[in-house]
Each structure stands twice: as structure tokens, then as C-alpha cells.
A = this chain, B = another copy of it.
């Protein structure tokens, strides 16, 4: 089985965006804003957007199951306050839950949290609980910068985040550390902010002893870990200067990298430098880079090809395609096992 651990519902029906735009237009007059019940999307519409997009490509490329969360760039936690985000997250998560319900063999949910700048992350827990308990979601996306590029929250090692981590540990769910749209004109969202956040989150973990407090906490760093594998020597050296344990002992029981790296040399480096047990297959399809690479004739984000061509053993390839995802997403493994898979 090939599990893609990083997919967002980037193709949701236009009604979703329209609803959000009305919500944003009435930020200061929420009573005039749209009611949740006003968003009407039929199962057929959901089916269409998935069958003609993500599922079509999964079939073409040969992946089986996608861990599916709301569109990352649309989370936009910086817009409005907690109530804004709470309503928006509930709507987006429910849509992903419905997709997973319509295509139970191909999609399983991961939750967007109702984060908001300056608001205690513990306020996210009811939505997290709902997604796990009612929807069967198997992970969450945690935004280390709900301000959208102004970086006003404390580092991930700060105790502010601990209530979320306690719940993650209790539920045995990992977090993909994933920012949303940048509203800072310095940072292009998918070309700079996403990758910067990946590197930043890794370094926040490196400089702290977070995983001493939470030995079973698991973070998935998307986009191949930002700059981290390319600069693995730098990070090993920095850890050494700080008298931290070697990175394998310090971080690699808790930190994993996905394979959203859109060319063969990048994947070759990732699989050479990072132990196979810490790499999870992903494409972020349909996402930031949708075109066809003229150098290969294949889609940039058809990352399965790169993994297949990488100089790794069959055992390592199995770990990257399936084994690691089942180990990191324990609730997914339990669901699959119950199905006899």
C-alpha cells in the first residue's frame, strides 16, 4: 500500500471560498456574516471534485491512501479572532471528514486547528477531540506561526503549546508542522514561508529539550524538511556546539520528514542523509506546484517516481511508502488493521 501523508483539499467546491469571503467581509459585523448552515455542498459535488482531481491522479500514479486535511493556505489563522477560526476550521474539517466518508479506502482525515494569533493554543483542543473522536481523524496540522509571516507566537518548545502536545500524546496522533498563507510581503507563501517554517520548526526542536518532556510526541516536517536535510552537516555541527546529543538520538525518535521535494536530486539527498525510518511518502498533490517538468515530462509533484528511482533498498522503500506512516499515524494503522490491511 502506498500512503501519501500530505494532501490538502485544495479543490473544494467554489461555495466554500464564497462562504469564507463572506465571513471575512463581515469580520467586524459577524451577525451579518454567513451562517454555517448557509454553506450547502452536496455529496455529489464533493465526489466530483475528488474523483476528477486527487483520486484521478492517485489512480494514475498508483498511490492508495491520502492523509487529507483542509487547504493549508486557506487556514489563514491570522484573519479575525478565535471565533472566526473556530467556525472556519469546523467547516473545513467537516468537509474533509465527508470526503473520507465518501472514499473510505482512499482518504483519511487530519485536522486543521482553530488557531489564532495571541490566543492560547489550548482553545484548539475541543475541535481536535471532535475530529479524532467523531471523524476518525488520525493527525493534526499545527501552525507554528498563526500570524501568517510575522512570527509572533513563541517557539514550539514553549510551554504555551504543551496542552496540545498532551492531547496529541493521549490520542497517539502526530502533528504536521505546517504554516498557512503569508500576509507578510517579504515571504512568498509556498516558495519561502512554507520552507522557512519547516527549517524554523526543526531548529526550535533542536535547541530545546522538548522531546525529553514528551518522549512519544511526533512531528512531521513537510516539504522535505525545508532546508534541513540539505544542511544536515550544519545542523549536526550546531547541535554539537550546543552540547546536544547527536541528532539521531536528540530528534529522530520524534521528527519525520515528508518527500514533498520536486526533483530527483533533492529526493536523492533526502534519502541519503535522513534515515529511511524518518521519511514518509508524500506529494502535497494537488498543491503548490502543479505543472509538468520539461526536464522529465512528468509532473513535478509526482514524487513516487523519485522514490522509486532513489538508491535505497526495497525494505527502505516499503518503510517510506507505507511502514513509517503506519508507525507514525498509529490511529491510521489501527483503522487499517481493523480492515484486515
**Bound CA span A291–B204, Å:** 21
**Bound CA span A232–B151, Å:** 26
Do A236 and B263 contact each other (CB < 8 Å), given the known contacts A186-B151, A199-B196, A269-B230?
Answer: yes
Specify which chain B residues have a CB less than 8 angstroms from the CB of A185 in the assembled complex.
154-155
- Kindly identify which residue among B223, B229, B293 contacts A236, using a CB–CB cutoff of 8 Å: B293
**Bound CA span A176–B183, Å:** 26
Specify which chain B residues have a CB less than 8 angstroms from the CB of A196 in the assembled complex.
192, 195-196, 199-200, 227
**Bound CA span A190–B266, Å:** 22
A35 within 8 Å of B by Cβ? no
Could you tell me if B204 and A293 are in contact, using CB atoms closer than 8 angstroms?
Answer: no
Could you tell me if A229 and B230 are in contact, using CB atoms closer than 8 angstroms?
Answer: yes
- Chain A 220-232 against B: per-residue CB contact (8 Å), 1 yes, 0 no? 0001101101111
Do A241 and B200 contact each other (CB < 8 Å), given the known contacts A195-B227, A195-B231, A263-B232?
Answer: no
A297 within 8 Å of B by Cβ? no
Could you tell me if A234 and B300 are in contact, using CB atoms closer than 8 angstroms?
Answer: yes
Binds B, one of A68-76, A81-89, A142-150: A142-150
Q: Which residue on B lies nearest to A158, using beta carbons? A: B185
Specify which chain B residues have a CB less than 8 angstroms from the CB of A186 in the assembled complex.
144-145, 151, 153-155, 200, 204
Could you tell me if B207 and A233 are in contact, using CB atoms closer than 8 angstroms?
Answer: no
A203 within 8 Å of B by Cβ? yes
A289 within 8 Å of B by Cβ? yes
Could you tell me if A233 and B266 are in contact, using CB atoms closer than 8 angstroms?
Answer: yes
- Kindly identify which residue among B191, B237, B268 contacts A262, using a CB–CB cutoff of 8 Å: B237
A288 within 8 Å of B by Cβ? yes
- Chain A 260-303 against B: per-residue CB contact (8 Å), 1 yes, 0 no? 01111110110011000000000000001111010100001100
Could you tell me if A265 and B261 are in contact, using CB atoms closer than 8 angstroms?
Answer: no
- Chain A 170-214 against B: per-residue CB contact (8 Å), 1 yes, 0 no? 000000000000001111101110011001100110110000000
- Kindly identify which residue among B192, B206, B261 contacts A230, using a CB–CB cutoff of 8 Å: B261
A133 within 8 Å of B by Cβ? no
**Bound CA span A150–B147, Å:** 12
Q: Which residue on B lies nearest to A157, using beta carbons? A: B185
Specify which chain B residues have a CB less than 8 angstroms from the CB of A53 in the assembled complex.
none
**Bound CA span A223–B231, Å:** 9
Specify which chain B residues have a CB less than 8 angstroms from the CB of A291 in the assembled complex.
237, 240-241
Q: 20 new A-B pairs (CB below 8 Å) besides A230-B269, A233-B262, A236-B295?
A: A144-B186, A149-B151, A150-B151, A155-B186, A186-B204, A188-B238, A192-B204, A223-B231, A224-B230, A226-B227, A227-B227, A232-B266, A233-B266, A233-B289, A234-B289, A236-B263, A237-B262, A237-B289, A265-B269, A266-B273
- Can you report 27 residue pairs joining A to B where beta carbons are below 8 Å apart? A144-B186, A151-B186, A155-B185, A155-B186, A187-B200, A188-B206, A190-B234, A191-B238, A192-B203, A199-B199, A223-B234, A230-B230, A230-B261, A230-B266, A231-B262, A233-B263, A233-B264, A233-B266, A234-B263, A234-B288, A237-B262, A237-B291, A237-B293, A237-B300, A241-B291, A266-B269, A269-B269
